[in-house]
Structure 1
Amino acid sequence: MDQAPGGPQGTQGPQDAHGLPGCYRHPDRETGVRCTRCERPICPECMVSASVGFQCPECVRGGSGTGHAPAANHPRTLAGGTIARDPRLITKLLILINVAIFIAIQADSRLVTDLTLIGAWPPAPFTPTQGVAGGEWYRLVTSMFAHQELWHIAFNMLSLWWLGGPLEAALGRVRYFSLYMVSGLAGSALTYLIASPSEQSLGASGAIYGLFGATAVLVRRLNYDMRPVIALLVINLIFTFSLSGIAWQAHVGGLIAGVIVAYGMVHAPRERRALVQWGTCGAVLLIVIVTIVLRTAALA
């Protein structure tokens, strides 16, 4: 996106060496997007979707200190979500749930057996009495929030905090939570489909990789520099396929689902926004369900 000309006095953000200004509220975040009313440089967290372009929170609230009239009766995020006072609320709650379950597992290690993703136990030719194939479909969800090792939950929660905040601000709470859950379920479904049915897996990595994919889609949508995101994603994928004991299926499944859902979220036409966004989520979720049903039938 071409950089807009300098705005009114007092609205210019700090310039970096490449000429891109920093957000007026978050100077460390480079941005090429400006408020269409006051021309302040704004980052994804500060963007409010308007009838034309994006506006800053001040102009949306009525231009406190700027003399502008209210910009919109119902301010929306980039994806059409409702602007929230705390743009990281869902991210904080997700971290809290993961940490709480981690503490519970440390207190009683037997919980791991009940929460992890396992396809079928005992393995064929015996009829499964435990696992997803044995009717314990809840494992597809509980495994997304279960961690046993400190390094595992620390890495995943740091990633969730760094990636989740900007995405929650850009998508809105409901859309962001939907992205997280659908990505995590897609990761669980692909693991269930491909991995050995007696192999146990756990962790939020599938959902986290969905956030990686969504971040790439958002950065591309805003015409930001894709190289840092691609480099970070490539590094993580190298670790995924080079280290043993990692359920790469969850990473790949979550990544693919995150890209698809996020693309539908941020590229949906305004006049059919809800239909496209929720239709995309529904289509991915339907594929997940069909995959689970077919795999269960094969293991029966």
Structure 2
Amino acid sequence: MEPQSAVTTCYRHPKVESHVRCTRCERYICPDCMREAAVGHQCVECVKEGARSIRQARTAFGGRITTAPVLTYLLIGLNVLVYLGELVRPAIVDRFAMLGAGLRGPGGEHYLWEYPYPSVLHAEGVVGGEWERLLTGAFLHLPPTAGTFGILHIMMNMVSLWNIGRVVESQLGRVRYLALYLLSALGGSVLVLLIDPDAQTVGASGAIFGLGAAYYVMARRLGADMSAVNRFMAGLLLWLLISAGLTSWQGHLGGLLAGGLVTLAYAYVPRGPRRGLLHAAVCAGLLVLLVLLAVGKVTQLA
């Protein structure tokens, strides 16, 4: 009977001779599979298992700590990309702007909503089943020569998103930040639908007002110096009043209220293993409320 070979090999690379054991599982590992540890070396699998068991750092509001405001950059890029699309095909604005209720003629002409309406006309807007307008309008902006602001519309909104979004995203983490942004945009559109359904509106202002409300709530929760924050909010509210005669104040106010409500939940729900679940429940509850309000208004109009 031949004696058993005393040569030991790596458990991942059987053809590679090895004489070093992993300090956790004690399997033999070759130099390619060695990972530095506090004592000795560990294998690749033990390192991965140890990383999973380490509690991930979180922000004060429960979000994952991020090294760069990637979502803010993506949102700015998406808005700019859509704006370039508008310049190539202006009809995009007409089709996807926020519009609660309107009528379209056989030649493409637009009329104010009335019900019942002649058979030659067709309903358009949310009341016509175009529910996507509740969100798509928040990614559109005025054409360069249209309205009071023209190209300044998207420029001011993107500068505001750059300044506020980076701060809010770093505190909330990407998932909570995205939920806040979209719910603020939706809240602005729903308030437009409820108060002024005949108006066609575009712009990310509702979402940005929601971020402004989040910035204020977070600063209060963190005990920051409120002098600069209060000046910021005073300017935001002043713009809300001024915009009443120039833009859709309903969209601004709706975004402000929705964003403030979501961030209050983020900030004041007690810490614990269920905090993330409670945050999700509040966001889902607000989403359901906004949808019910929209459905109720459409039912009333029709």
TM-score grouping bracket, smaller chain normalisation: 0.7 to 0.9
**Contact 1:189–1:292 under 8 Å retained in 2:** yes
Q: Secondary structure at the match of 1:84?
A: coil
1:107-150 deviation per Cα after TM superposition (whole angstroms, max 9, x unaligned): 22111101111111121034452100100000011001001231
Letter in 1 for 2:178: F
Q: 2:67 aligns with which of 85, 99, 102?
A: 85
Letter in 1 for 2:191: L
Letter in 2 for 1:161: W
TM-score, reference length from structure 2: 0.72
**Contact 2:240–2:253 under 8 Å retained in 1:** no
Q: Secondary structure at the match of 1:224?
A: coil
CA shift in 2, pair 1:147/1:162, >3 Å: same
Q: Where does structure 1 differ by over 6 angstroms across 4 or more consecutive aligned residues?
A: none
- Give the drift of 1:198: 2.3
Instruction: Decide which structure has greater strand share.
Output: 2
**Contact 2:115–2:301 under 8 Å retained in 1:** no
1:260 has 2:261 as partner: yes
Identity, % of aligned pairs?
38
- Give the drift of 1:245: 3.0
Runs of at least 5 residues in structure 1 that lack an aligned partner in the other structure:
1-61, 63-69
Matches within 5 A, 1:1-300: 73-86=55-68, 88-122=69-103, 123-127=113-117, 129-148=123-142, 149-195=150-196, 197-243=197-243, 244-271=245-272, 272-300=274-302
Structure 1 window deviating more from structure 2 (186-195 vs 220-229): it is 220-229
**Contact 1:240–1:246 under 8 Å retained in 2:** no
Letter in 2 for 1:207: A
Q: CA RMSD in A?
A: 1.8
Q: Secondary structure at the match of 1:129?
A: strand
CA shift in 2, pair 1:297/1:158, >3 Å: same
Query: For the residues of structure 1 that align with 2:237 and 2:97, how far apart are their CA atoms?
Result: 23
CA shift in 2, pair 1:126/1:234, >3 Å: farther
- Give the drift of 1:287: 1.4
- Give the drift of 1:241: 2.3
Letter in 2 for 1:104: G
Q: Secondary structure at the match of 2:201?
A: coil
Match of 1:25 in 2: none
- Give the drift of 1:201: 0.4
**Contact 1:81–1:171 under 8 Å retained in 2:** yes
Query: For the residues of structure 1 that align with 2:61 and 2:226, how far apart are their CA atoms?
Result: 20
Query: For the residues of structure 1 that align with 2:123 and 2:296, how far apart are their CA atoms?
Result: 18
Letter in 2 for 1:173: R
Larger Rg belongs to:
2
Query: For the residues of structure 2 that align with 1:119 and 1:257, how far apart are their CA atoms?
Result: 19
Query: For the residues of structure 2 that align with 1:258 and 1:227, how far apart are their CA atoms?
Result: 21
TM-score, reference length from structure 1: 0.73
